[in-house]
């Protein structure tokens, strides 16, 4: 097959927070690119991951979970905008839900997808979690009537069940000649950006409810050599109390976060990583357009 003939296109992965969108992206890439945690609203950006297959190329767009806006902080608007922006860019949409769960949030998301008129494949994730397998079929029947989905796919992003079939079926819906990224390109995000995300991932994972949502990471220094990547980063929080929690007694929590982030970065860059973290307070950053701009959170990316 010539390169010109290879099928390809963009696929937006959308759904409510925490259904497993980033887990699926990483699974299909065969490596971690998008951060995951057992908490809603982990993903804050649109993350491109390019999946190469013999039959073509999928440009997967992982998106922030679409959520109902409580209050109207600029950050929340940016998250929903990033998700819907990816849908507008996409040739096909993967609408992900968790097996057994369809309520008002799903109705709302579906309504916005219908408006954009893209072919929608429904992904029913976390089938490995179902206690009774026989519950799956009636659930699939009950959601099949919601919309004319192009296909409905039960999957497990975590275990990989049905993931390869999903890719093959999706390629069939993408145009010939649509592969647009070089075959060795993984993403359009810089290593610097991914580093900030990997640090944020560990904050999401190691702290309770409040602090992760008040935290943002910026990279102050990023130097690469063939053997070492040297990173100095600042973690921004909104209040002094959050700073104290993040640092922990005698600095232990920050140390644990830094060490876990360093390890996951080393796996990505296949080099040693030196990582230094600072914590600073910036009240109201979630409403500060200039700061959101510096986090690349003000565009449709
Ligand atoms: N059992 C099970 N857990 C899964 C599966 N897929 C994802 N998870 C878990 O669900 C949680 C959320 O996964 P994420 O991939 O971060 O979810 P997300 O949809 O990207 O979340 P947001 O960033 O909030 O939009 C994590 O703890 C995952 O390990 C699955 O197929 N089975």
CATH number of the domain within which 20 lies: 3.40.50.300
Q: Each residue's pLDDT tens digit in the chain (301 positions)?
A: 445 578 999 999 999 999 999 999 999 999 899 999 898 888 888 899 999 998 899 999 999 888 776 666 777 777 788 888 899 989 999 999 999 999 999 998 999 899 888 999 999 999 999 988 899 999 999 999 999 999 999 999 999 999 999 999 999 999 999 889 998 899 998 999 999 999 999 999 999 878 888 999 999 999 999 999 999 999 999 999 999 999 999 999 999 999 999 999 999 899 999 999 999 999 999 889 888 888 877 653 4
Instruction: Please give the distance, rounded to the nearest whole angstrom, from the Cα atom of residue 18 to the centre of ligand 1.
Output: 5
pLDDT on residue 76: 77
Residues 150 and 285 in one domain: no
Instruction: Please give the distance, rounded to the nearest whole angstrom, from the Cα atom of residue 9 to the centre of ligand 1.
Output: 24
Angle at the Cα of 159 (from 156 to 165), degrees rounded to 5? 60
Task: Verify whether ligand 1 is closer than 6 Å to residue 10 (CB atom).
Answer: no
Q: How many domains does the chain have?
A: 2
Residues forming a β-bridge with 234: 218, 278
Would you list which residues are annotated within the binding site? 15-22, 62-66, 125-128
Residues 107 and 8 in one domain: yes
For a mutational test of ligand 1's pocket, the pick from 19, 24, 160, i.e. the residue with the most ligand atoms closer than 8 A to its C-beta, is: 19
Residue 154's φ and ψ, nearest 5 degrees, are -75, 130
E runs forming strands in the chain:
7-14, 47-53, 56-62, 92-98, 120-125, 151-154, 216-224, 228-237, 272-281
pTM over 0.80, yes/no: yes
pLDDT on residue 70: 62
pLDDT on residue 71: 61
Which of residues 121, 140, 172 is at a domain's end?
Answer: 172
pLDDT on residue 301: 42
On whether residue 182 sits in a domain, the answer given is: no
Domain extent for 168: 3-172
On whether residue 183 sits in a domain, the answer given is: no
- Cα gap 128→126, rounded to integer Å: 5
On whether residue 185 sits in a domain, the answer given is: no
Residues 277 and 159 in one domain: no
On whether residue 38 sits in a domain, the answer given is: yes
On whether residue 180 sits in a domain, the answer given is: no
Residue 136 and residue 127 in contact, taking contact as beta carbons nearer than 8 Å: yes
| Residue whose CA lies nearest to ligand 1 atom number 14 | 20
pLDDT on residue 3: 56
105 HSE (CA, 13 A, CB side): 17
233 is written with which tokens? 């980063």
Instruction: Please give the distance, rounded to the nearest whole angstrom, from the Cα atom of residue 251 to the centre of ligand 1.
Output: 30
For a mutational test of ligand 1's pocket, the pick from 15, 18, 68, 204, i.e. the residue with the most ligand atoms closer than 8 A to its C-beta, is: 18
163 is written with which tokens? 């993931």
Task: Verify whether ligand 1 is closer than 6 Å to residue 20 (CB atom).
Answer: yes
Instruction: Please give the distance, rounded to the nearest whole angstrom, from the Cα atom of residue 40 to the centre of ligand 1.
Output: 9
Residues 43 and 140 in one domain: yes
Residues 75 and 202 in one domain: no
Which of residues 172, 200, 232 is at a domain's end?
Answer: 172
Judging by DSSP bridges, how do beta strands 228-237 and 272-281 pair with one another?
parallel
Instruction: Please give the distance, rounded to the nearest whole angstrom, from the Cα atom of residue 223 to the centre of ligand 1.
Output: 32
Would you list which residues are annotated within the binding site for GTP? 15-22, 62-66, 125-128
Query: Closest by alpha carbon to 114, among 95, 89, 86?
Result: 95
């Amino acid at each position: 097959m010539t390169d010109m003939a290879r099928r390809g296109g963009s696929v937006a992965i959308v759904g409510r927070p925490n259904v497993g969108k980033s887990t699926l992206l990483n699974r299909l890439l065969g490596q971690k690119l998008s951060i995951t945690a057992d908490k809603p609203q982990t993903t804050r950006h649109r993350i491109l991951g390019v999946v190469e297959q013999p039959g073509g190329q999928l440009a997967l767009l992982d998106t922030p979970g679409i959520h109902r806006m409580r209050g109207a902080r600029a950050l929340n608007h940016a998250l929903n905008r990033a998700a819907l922006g990816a849908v507008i860019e996409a040739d096909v949409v993967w609408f992900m839900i968790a097996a057994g769960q369809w309520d008002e949030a799903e109705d709302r998301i579906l309504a916005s997808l219908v408006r954009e008129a893209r072919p929608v494949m429904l992904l029913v994730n976390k089938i490995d979690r179902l206690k009774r397998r026989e519950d799956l079929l009636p659930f699939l029947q009950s959601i099949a009537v919601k919309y004319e989905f192009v296909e409905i796919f039960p999957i497990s992003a975590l275990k990989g069940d049905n993931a390869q079939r999903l890719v093959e079926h999706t390629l069939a819906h993408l145009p010939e000649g649509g592969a647009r990224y070089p075959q060795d390109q993984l993403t359009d995000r810089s290593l610097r950006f991914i580093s900030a995300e990997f640090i944020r991932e560990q904050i999401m994972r190691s702290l309770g409810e409040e602090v992760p949502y008040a935290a943002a990471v910026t990279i102050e220094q990023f130097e690469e050599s063939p053997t070492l990547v040297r990173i100095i980063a600042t973690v921004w929080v909104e209040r002094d109390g959050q700073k104290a929690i993040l640092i922990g007694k005698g600095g232990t929590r920050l140390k644990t976060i830094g060490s876990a982030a360093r390890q996951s970065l080393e796996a990505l860059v296949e080099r040693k990583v030196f990582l230094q973290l600072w914590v600073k307070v910036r009240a109201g950053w979630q409403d500060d357009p200039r700061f959101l701009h510096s986090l690349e959170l003000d565009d449709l990316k």
